[in-house]
Structure 1
Amino acid sequence: MIYTLTPEQEALIPVYREKWRAIAFSTERIERDKAAESIKAAYAIINEPEPTIIFCDSPYASLCLDIDLQLKYSNDKLYTDIEYLLFDQLEKQLGYDSLYVLNQRLNIDIDRINQIEFELGVLLERELKINGLKYFVDGSVRLDGLLRQYSLFEFCIYVLKCDYNQEIWKILQNICKHCGRIFADDNICMICDRPKKLSLDNQNRLHAEGEPAIEFTDGYSLYSYHGVTLPEKYGKIHPQQWQSQWLLTEGNAEIRRVLIQGIGYARICQELQAIELDFWKEYTLLKIDNDVDEEAIYLLKMTCPSTGFIHALRVPPNMNSAREAIRWVNWGVDPEEFGVQT
């Protein structure tokens, strides 16, 4: 059992984490011959007959094929069976608790990756009108699988010097290197190419402005703004060109929140004709009565005396005066107490 790591081993954790993160987010095209060889070897090691291999340019293309939809109920036998063989060997040497703790430290971005996978599945489910499809996509060999297990395997093998089955590890590495997303069943294995574009923000959420955050070679794409999937009608337009009037007709609360974030309160105040409730010096308390959000929007507008720049900040709807709103913004400090005003 391993309860502590040496300083040298600790220093290697971010190295392996970043290595497998880069592999998971690769946009390099797969080589189909090598991908097929990897899958055949994988089926052979778990004593399954060689499957029919189908290549697709995107998950959408694979799910549009005329294949029995029982595939969507597959637990991905190929992936789980091979992975278990190696995991079981490591667990006997290190113990489950040690592996669990180490896995958590190697995979700090897993929740974000899970969200990426789930959003892709939700979009496919909506477009293809197949209930439960998001769970099928989420259960395929995917980004978080590479990060969650493969970084752990490699760290245990090369840093902790655990004994391991070399043939199994070689097969798993080849699948990662030569295949994109895999939908594996007993008789059929579909291999999807990697996306040609994958764009993230600094918190590893899907994000792009005015263009797809994920795009495959067949044109299938997903628009996203800081992790929130957007309809194409919004996603293909840069946030600087988003219109405040859209808030009046958009029924999805989460998308309205994103639109508000992208447009900014200053523009919303101007374009939706906010009502002035109170003012104090360069501060004005405003209200937007239109059905923009789940509750009325109250804003504190601040105008810089030297530059004329206008900034608007949302405040609670129980504010009765501009000075009260200023105190709320400044953690209870009354504006008369400010040492310096800007």
Structure 2
Amino acid sequence: MSFLVQRDAAEIREQWLGWALSTLPADRPAAEAAISGLYDLVGLAPPRFHWVSSPLAALLTVPPGVRPRDADRPVSERPLPYRLRWSANRLHRELDSRIRPAQQPFDQVIRYQVRGPLARSVTSSLHPPLRAAHETPFNPATSWYTTQCVSWIAHYDALHRLAGVRFTPEQDRHLGLWAAAARSCGWWWPWEGVCVVSERPVTLHTEMADDTGVVRLHHPEAPAISYGDGWDLYSWHGTQVPDWVIKDPAAQRITDEPNVEVRRCAIERIGWDAYIEQAGLHLVATAPDPGNPGSELRLYDMRKETKVLLAVNGSVERDGRRRRYGLTVPGFLTDPLAAAGWTYGLSAEQYSRLLRRT
């Protein structure tokens, strides 16, 4: 597969990612026309539209004409989302059948460079607000929201543009309706007779998560994503955190926090050196790191039953630096080499023979 095809696939991915993560106001006429067209494909008249400012507002809203007890049903159990998902899945099968053997290598490249990274970016950037808005835990990746994800739409768009896969006029129209909806608004929730549609976020901050084009929510000083009604979420390198982690990551709050991932993020926010000083952690012992020549292992008392091993990452970060990080280890360990070995399932002697840790 030529470099030009891979380059063009990456450009298509970035184009769709831009639409997925857009903070522009929704194009309401375009969104309503596209959603009405999708209603028509399952035999329903165009709905009334009830616009809200955020996913939270959408899930707290009982739209006009919907009985409150029906509104309490999970989205995945409502009949209309199921019918629309079934219609989209049938379209997937039809479009896949249009791929000829000579076009299959393009399909594999597009799945790797377009569909996969877009799906992971949506999961990391747009699913956290959905999870936060729902009162009960759920997985957006296995629900109605998967059907709205731009990843599958971009996949078939790229197949048409890069591999020359031809669809029938009806298939083009069906795919075009899903594409227009994805480009025009935020998440939407269909009912018979009425459709609730969310505006896009007004701010959304991401960072590159890896070298495949995947992004994740992150902002070191402010909400990573916020909506017009003031609802927002904070995120540290893709991990959703309480606002205090970003605004006031004090040592005592970190000590009192029961969630280990939140503690880790808060410590990284202020830096391990600053945290150790603020928390008054006692240095137990130090040792050169044989798995990372030139770096030092430092073992500190943290809590009664635990210690923290401070080490330097063996590989270089995207910004060219080596990140210092801490790992909690059992409190009975007193030797930094034994503590480092414990994190790998090795003894102190086995760890001391490592050439380089990555």
Category of TM-score, reference length = shorter chain = 0.7 to 0.9
**Which residue does the alignment assign to 1:243?**
250
For 2:218, what is the secondary structure of its paired residue? Answer: coil
Tell me the amino acid that sits aligned with residue 193 of structure 2. N
Which of 115, 121, 128 pairs up with 1:119? 128
Which of 160, 184, 192 pairs up with 1:157? 160
Tell me the amino acid that sits aligned with residue 29 of structure 2. D
Cα distance in 1 for residues equivalent to 2:14 and 2:82? 28
Cα distance in 1 for residues equivalent to 2:324 and 2:3? 48
Instruction: Tell me the number of residue pairs that the alignment of Structure 1 and Structure 2 aligns.
Output: 309
Cα distance in 1 for residues equivalent to 2:297 and 2:96? 61
**Which residue does the alignment assign to 1:74?**
78
Tell me the amino acid that sits aligned with residue 249 of structure 2. W
Report percent identity of matched pairs. 17
Query: 1:192 aligned to 2:207?
Result: no
Query: 1:94 aligned to 2:99?
Result: yes
Q: CA deviation at 1:286?
A: 5.3
Which of 243, 246, 261 pairs up with 1:232? 243
Cα distance in 1 for residues equivalent to 2:46 and 2:132? 32
Report which of the two structures shows the higher radius of gyration computed on alpha carbons.
1
Stretches of structure 1 lacking an aligned partner (at least 5 in a row): 302-310, 334-342
Which of 134, 139, 146 pairs up with 2:143? 139
Q: Which moved more, 1:242-251 or 1:31-40?
A: 31-40
Contact 1:74/1:184, CA 8 A, preserved across alignment: no
User: CA 1:122–1:329 in 2, change beyond 3 Å: closer, same or farther?
Assistant: farther
Contact 1:299/1:314, CA 8 A, preserved across alignment: yes
Tell me the amino acid that sits aligned with residue 20 of structure 2. A
Tell me the amino acid that sits aligned with residue 303 of structure 2. D
Tell me the amino acid that sits aligned with residue 104 of structure 1. Y
For 1:261, what is the secondary structure of its paired residue? Answer: helix
Stretches of structure 2 lacking an aligned partner (at least 5 in a row): 63-67, 210-214, 289-294, 313-322, 341-348
Cα distance in 2 for residues equivalent to 1:285 and 1:105? 39
Query: 1:168 aligned to 2:174?
Result: yes
Q: CA deviation at 1:284?
A: 8.4
Tell me the amino acid that sits aligned with residue 41 of structure 1. G
Tell me the amino acid that sits aligned with residue 114 of structure 2. L
Q: CA deviation at 1:315?
A: 7.0
TM-score normalised over the length of structure 1: 0.75
Deviations 1:247-272 (A, max 9, x none): 22111111011112222221122222
Query: 1:291 aligned to 2:303?
Result: yes
Deviations 1:174-231 (A, max 9, x none): 2123222111233331110110111112211111122111101111111111111111
Cα distance in 1 for residues equivalent to 2:183 and 2:121? 22
TM-score normalised over the length of structure 2: 0.72
User: CA 1:191–1:295 in 2, change beyond 3 Å: closer, same or farther?
Assistant: same
Query: 1:46 aligned to 2:42?
Result: yes
Cα distance in 2 for residues equivalent to 1:19 and 1:90? 21
Cα distance in 2 for residues equivalent to 1:120 and 1:33? 25
Contact 2:203/2:226, CA 8 A, preserved across alignment: yes
Q: Which moved more, 1:31-40 or 1:77-86?
A: 77-86
Cα distance in 1 for residues equivalent to 2:112 and 2:297? 46
Cα distance in 1 for residues equivalent to 2:234 and 2:51? 24
Contact 2:12/2:154, CA 8 A, preserved across alignment: yes
